[in-house]
């Protein structure tokens, strides 16, 4: 969140309208790219599971399934592995490698933060571009 707040001060460093336009184009393009990366990561590594007692549960999983689990369940997809392994964090880290769970979560957080930060720069650049002198 500090990064996002700091990015709001970047447009004040813009000197000309030409620079403001360039910053707007680049930051908006970067925000769109970061959002697409975020959407792909969430679509792939954040799983929604229906449970009989607690309703719908949403959990993030890792990049790599433990080899022993994959050997036991070679054809199961991530939602089924999540249902079999359990919904608690320690259970998720027994099905997926702990490092890959952390890496997936950090990638999701980073791409989300980058989207917000770049969108903030784009909005500030647009405001600077429309500012009357």
Task: Please indicate, yes or no, if residue 26 is contained in any of the structural domains.
Answer: yes
β 55-60/46-51 pair status: antiparallel
* 123 closest CA partner among 37, 9, 38: 9
pLDDT of residue 11 exceeding 90, the answer is no
Render pLDDT for 78-99 as a digit per residue (tens, 0 to 9).
989 988 888 889 999 999 999 9
Task: Please indicate, yes or no, if residue 130 is contained in any of the structural domains.
Answer: no
Task: Please indicate, yes or no, if residue 129 is contained in any of the structural domains.
Answer: no
Task: Please indicate, yes or no, if residue 1 is contained in any of the structural domains.
Answer: no
Domain extent for 21: 17-123
Task: Please indicate, yes or no, if residue 5 is contained in any of the structural domains.
Answer: no
Task: Please indicate, yes or no, if residue 131 is contained in any of the structural domains.
Answer: no
pLDDT of residue 111 exceeding 80, the answer is yes
Instruction: Give every CB contact of residue 22 below 8 A, 6+ residues apart in sequence.
Output: none
pTM for the model stands at 0.83
């Amino acid at each position: 969140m500090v990064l996002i707040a700091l990015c709001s001060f970047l447009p004040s460093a813009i000197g000309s309208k030409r620079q403001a336009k360039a910053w707007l184009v680049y930051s908006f393009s970067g925000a769109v790219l970061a959002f697409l990366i975020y959407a792909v990561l969430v679509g792939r590594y954040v799983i929604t599971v229906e449970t009989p007692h607690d309703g719908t549960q949403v959990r993030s999983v890792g990049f790599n399934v433990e080899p022993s689990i994959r050997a036991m369940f070679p054809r199961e997809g991530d939602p089924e592995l999540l249902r079999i392994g359990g919904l608690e964090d320690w259970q998720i880290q027994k099905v997926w490698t702990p490092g890959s769970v952390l890496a997936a979560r950090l990638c999701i957080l980073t791409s989300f933060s980058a989207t917000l930060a770049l969108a903030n720069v784009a909005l500030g650049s647009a405001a600077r571009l429309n500012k009357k002198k």
